[in-house]
Amino acid sequence: MNLYQEVSKLKAKFESLQRSQRHLLGEDLGPLNVKELQQLERQLESALAQARQRKTQIMLEQMEELRKKERHLGDINKQLKSKLEAEGAAFRAIQGPWEAEGVIAGHAFNVHPSHSNAIEAEPILQIGYHPFFPAEASMQRNTNGENNNNNNNNFMHGWVL
């Protein structure tokens, strides 16, 4: 076989593959008869079934990985809870006398309701600005009238004192 015949065969094969690709893409279907269209339909259904099977396989693998990760995070969560409970017992022993007094070194303080039993509760994320003013400082500010006069240069009350 000479080089010319080989090039001709490769060229014909290339054109045939291009035509098949166009047919699979739904292009140039006009010259096809019913039998060829049915064959094309079977090819497409087979390809679609394979694609769906592969997609399902990938999704099942991803679900298994996520289950493993969930179990791992659950184990870590259990370890952290047991550690928190162990350290919480010591904290509650120290916390008791402080709660009984309610005032520390002459300064009153408020405990946010969600923090009263922080050891037993699930963690709660609280976002926002909550200024801490000792009770005496708040009283002086209100009685002296300094609230508006001396703090005019404060952009936002509580942020710049």
User: pLDDT tens per residue, the chain (161 residues)?
Assistant: 699 999 999 999 999 999 999 998 989 899 999 999 999 999 999 999 999 999 999 999 999 999 999 999 999 999 999 999 888 877 777 776 655 555 445 555 555 555 555 455 555 656 665 555 555 554 554 454 444 444 444 445 545 44
Residue 40 CA to residue 26 CA, distance in Å, equals: 10
pTM, full prediction: 0.46
Query: Is there a contact between 47 and 66 (Cβ–Cβ < 8 Å)?
Result: no
Residue 26 CA to residue 41 CA, distance in Å, equals: 10
**Residue 33 DSSP symbol:** -
Query: Is there a contact between 111 and 130 (Cβ–Cβ < 8 Å)?
Result: no
